[in-house]
């Protein structure tokens, strides 16, 4: 059963019209084509539909025989874990991690490792990762010939597993390769900016201010897109942090907090 067929089946079971099912998340005409198999649906849109109508993602995918390359159960779980982490929603994070651990056969090894990384990042305690798991994460990241968005996301979450100078080398290698390519989509730009933001944080912890400034410079060179607002605002925050401009850091924190990024209170370095 395809994604569209499963959506149609559940919609009919719930007695909803296509307009009610679309719920202003997607247009009715677009949604109708998804049901007919004429349009693909992104992970974000599908996740929003499932959450809107209280549909369990394990149930949704358990009898699907057609795998949509754009979206699958593992991608949806990773999206939910990432969102819970950045919103500092510890209750949701605990629920999701328990689900992955409970239903290991339902999820890929990559999702399991990503879950452990998110969990340890939330607790700021990498010691819960075994040495074998740490090595497996590194192996999985570099086992592919190209940097896909998904293994870049895994690397972004695992950056604290590397010593600083190895990390600096890897980040530089990624950016050199990316500079040789063009026409990155917004998802690619987001994960590259996320890597740079994490690197700035680690560089400042190691008092490597020039490397942090270089990463800030690279973020500022990305296009001014709404999807990149968070990363560009954090870059501005850290510019003020390096300049020891406490008033400006407070201003940027205020902006981030009031545009929905309250998690920044918990994760950004603070001036004393």
Q: Quote helix, strand, coil % in the chain, to nearest 5.
A: 70, 0, 30
Crossing angle for the helix pair 3-14 and 28-35, to the nearest 10 degrees: 110
Mean pLDDT, rounded, of the chain: 83
pTM of the model: 0.63
Pick from 47, 52, 82, 115: nearest CA to 263? 82
Over residues 234-249, the mean pLDDT reads 95
Do 37 and 126 reside in the same domain of the chain?
A: no
Burial of 65 from C-beta contacts in 10 A (0-12 / 13-18 / 19+): exposed
Alpha-carbon torsion 238, 241, 245, 247, what sign? positive
Do 172 and 248 reside in the same domain of the chain?
A: yes
Give phi and psi for 146, each to the nearest 5: -125, 155
Q: Give the domain range for residue 227.
A: 163-272
Do 94 and 136 reside in the same domain of the chain?
A: yes
Domain end position, chosen among 56, 71, 86: 71
Do 96 and 148 reside in the same domain of the chain?
A: yes
Over residues 132-160, the mean pLDDT reads 76
Do 255 and 170 reside in the same domain of the chain?
A: yes
Do 175 and 269 reside in the same domain of the chain?
A: yes
Q: What is the pLDDT of residue 109?
A: 85
Domain end position, chosen among 108, 128, 161: 161
Pick from 197, 216, 164: nearest CA to 86? 197
CA distance 25 to 35: 15
Over residues 100-119, the mean pLDDT reads 85
For residues 42 and 248, which has the higher predicted lDDT (pLDDT)? 248
Domains: count for the chain: 3
Do 249 and 172 reside in the same domain of the chain?
A: yes
Q: Between the ranges 10-19, 52-61, 114-123, where is the mean pLDDT highest?
A: 10-19
CATH of residue 14's domain is 1.10.260.40
Query: Are the CB atoms for 45 and 26 separated by under 8 Å?
Result: yes
Do 64 and 90 reside in the same domain of the chain?
A: no
CA distance 206 to 190: 24
Do 169 and 271 reside in the same domain of the chain?
A: yes
Do 167 and 157 reside in the same domain of the chain?
A: no
- pLDDT tens for 172-214 read 878 877 765 556 778 889 999 999 999 999 999 999 999 999 9
- pLDDT tens for 161-172 read 888 988 888 888
For the chain, how far is it from start to end, CA to CA, in angstroms?
57
Do 35 and 85 reside in the same domain of the chain?
A: no
Do 195 and 265 reside in the same domain of the chain?
A: yes
């Amino acid at each position: 059963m395809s994604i569209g067929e499963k959506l149609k089946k559940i919609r009919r079971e719930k007695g909803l019209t296509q307009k009610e099912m679309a719920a202003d998340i997607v247009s009715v005409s677009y949604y109708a084509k998804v049901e007919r198999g004429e349009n693909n649906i992104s992970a974000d849109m599908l996740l929003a539909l499932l959450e809107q109508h209280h549909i369990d993602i394990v149930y949704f995918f358990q009898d699907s025989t057609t795998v949509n390359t754009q979206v699958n159960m593992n991608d949806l779980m990773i999206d939910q874990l990432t969102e819970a982490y950045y919103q500092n929603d510890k209750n949701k994070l605990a629920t999701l991690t328990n689900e992955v651990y409970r239903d290991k056969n339902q999820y890929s090894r990559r999702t399991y490792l990503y879950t452990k990384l998110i969990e340890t990042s939330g607790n700021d305690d990498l010691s819960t990762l075994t040495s074998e798991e740490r090595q497996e994460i590194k192996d999985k990241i570099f086992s592919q010939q190209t940097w896909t968005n998904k293994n870049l996301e895994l690397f972004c979450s695992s950056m604290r597993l590397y010593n600083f100078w190895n990390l600096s080398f890897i980040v530089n290698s990624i950016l050199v390769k990316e500079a040789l390519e063009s026409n990155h989509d917004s998802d690619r730009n987001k994960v590259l900016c996320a890597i740079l933001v994490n690197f700035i944080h680690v560089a400042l912890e190691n008092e490597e201010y020039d490397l942090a400034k270089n990463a800030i410079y690279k973020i500022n060179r990305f296009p001014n897109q709404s999807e990149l607002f968070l990363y560009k605002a954090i870059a501005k925050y850290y510019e003020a942090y390096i300049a020891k401009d406490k008033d400006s850091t407070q201003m940027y924190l205020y902006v981030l907090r009031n545009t929905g990024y309250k998690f920044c209170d918990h994760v950004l370095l603070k001036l004393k």
